[in-house]
């Protein structure tokens, strides 16, 4: 029996972004009671995000605001290829007007998003996060620079998403976590697993976990591109890391207590079970062993975690079946 799960990284800006998954079906009806959208909305689309996503869904939704005013509308067109779309005043004004929702900022640092301008865009992003007193989430995988170069810019509390990516410039050097990555963690930089369509490598995760490197936040990075596979849902992301050697209780902590605290939702009672608390409960059972894919088509066999009862504010939620089941 677990507290209602907290998803630290997802994309649920349905109807506006091409990557937006439906929040209630993808999350609440699979045991997740609170979720952070990671940069799908920017300042110019935030009003729609608030109305169509935050206010239209029963689960608690917060976000990391994309530093580009455009947000992530369509994966094919990098939102920062025109660097002028990073308008610090707009991002700051949105965060200031919506402190109940905006809990940080997001920059995707992939080359196809930032082009040649990674350094100036990253500096501006850190600076605006500093001004707002909020963390910056940084998406790696396909950065132009090795990770240690990028880590130098981050502050304690900033978050590196996709820590088990199999793309170039990841956290490993051979079988070991790079010293610069361990040093960044030591000074308070956080790491988010953010599975996603293309950023979980079983081989990287296996080696990193064997080297003692667990993510600070275990998230699914659900989107319209992956919620029918290879990601499926947050519980499946947990099952995968457990199968790769991470202790179950540590994984659960990183999908409940840890993201609730990071997102400032612990003060609203999320991420824990307590007498007189929110009555958000997810009961989970281990089901059959299934073959689960990573982002590159490698597979592992793992006992799957399935929600059997989900309570949201004391009311029973109608669970939807696991989306990886073969269709009848
Ligand atoms: Zn993401």
**pLDDT means over runs of 10, the chain (328 residues):** 98 97 98 98 98 98 98 96 98 98 97 94 98 97 93 98 96 97 98 94 97 98 95 97 97 98 98 95 95 91 96 97 82
| 285 CA from centroid of ligand 1 (Å) | 27
- Strand extents, DSSP E, 131-280: 136-139, 159-161, 172-173, 176-177, 190-192
Backbone dihedral region for residue 183 (phi beyond 0: left; psi -120 to 50: alpha; all else: beta): alpha
* Cα(196)–Cα(38) distance, integer angstroms: 12
| 90 CA from centroid of ligand 1 (Å) | 22
| 187 CA from centroid of ligand 1 (Å) | 24
| 269 CA from centroid of ligand 1 (Å) | 25
pLDDT at 327: 64
pLDDT at 38: 98
| 194 CA from centroid of ligand 1 (Å) | 7
Token pair, residue 227, equals: 């919620």
pLDDT at 296: 87
By the 8 A CB rule, do 190 and 217 touch? yes
Question: Near ion ligand 1, which residues have CB within 5 Å?
Answer: 38, 221
By the 8 A CB rule, do 283 and 3 touch? no
| 221 CA from centroid of ligand 1 (Å) | 5
pLDDT at 162: 97
| 316 CA from centroid of ligand 1 (Å) | 29
Residue 315 host element (H or E): strand 315-316
* Cα(245)–Cα(251) distance, integer angstroms: 10
| 148 CA from centroid of ligand 1 (Å) | 21
| 174 CA from centroid of ligand 1 (Å) | 26
pLDDT at 328: 55
* Cα(14)–Cα(17) distance, integer angstroms: 6
| 323 CA from centroid of ligand 1 (Å) | 20
Q: Which domains does the chain have, with CATH numbers?
A: 2-316 (3.20.20.140)
* Cα(47)–Cα(132) distance, integer angstroms: 19
Which 3 state secondary structure label does DSSP give 260? helix
* Cα(145)–Cα(50) distance, integer angstroms: 35
| 9 CA from centroid of ligand 1 (Å) | 6
């Amino acid at each position: 029996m677990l507290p209602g799960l907290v998803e630290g990284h997802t994309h649920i800006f349905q109807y506006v972004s091409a990557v937006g998954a439906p929040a209630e079906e993808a999350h609440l009806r699979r045991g997740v009671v609170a979720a952070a959208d990671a940069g799908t909305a920017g300042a110019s689309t935030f009003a729609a995000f608030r109305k169509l996503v935050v206010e239209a869904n029963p689960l608690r939704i917060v976000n990391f605001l994309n530093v580009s005013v455009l947000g992530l509308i369509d994966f094919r067109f990098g939102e920062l290829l025109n660097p002028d779309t990073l308008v610090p005043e707009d991002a700051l004004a949105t965060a200031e007007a919506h402190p109940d929702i905006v809990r940080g900022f997001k920059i995707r640092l992939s080359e196809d998003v930032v082009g040649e301008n990674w350094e100036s865009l990253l500096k501006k992003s850190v600076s605006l996060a500093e001004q707002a007193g909020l963390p910056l989430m940084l998406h790696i995988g396909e950065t132009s620079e090795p990770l240690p170069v990028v880590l130098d810019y981050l502050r304690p509390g900033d978050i590196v998403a996709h820590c088990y990516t199999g793309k170039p410039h990841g956290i490993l050097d051979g079988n070991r976590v790079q010293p610069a990555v361990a040093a960044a963690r030591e000074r308070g930089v956080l790491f988010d697993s953010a599975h996603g369509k293309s950023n979980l490598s079983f081989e990287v995760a296996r080696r990193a976990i064997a080297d003692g490197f667990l993510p600070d936040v275990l998230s699914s990075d659900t989107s319209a591109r992956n919620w029918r596979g290879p990601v499926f849902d947050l519980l499946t992301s947990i099952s995968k890391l457990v199968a790769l050697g991470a202790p179950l209780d540590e994984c659960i902590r990183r999908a409940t207590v840890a993201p609730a605290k990071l997102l400032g939702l612990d003060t609203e009672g999320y991420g824990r079970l307590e007498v007189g608390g929110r009555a958000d409960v997810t009961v989970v059972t281990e089901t059959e062993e299934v073959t689960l894919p990573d982002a590159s088509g490698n597979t592992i066999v793992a006992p799957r975690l399935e929600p059997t009862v989900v309570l949201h504010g004391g009311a029973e939620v109608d669970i939807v079946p696991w989306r990886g089941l073969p269709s009848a």
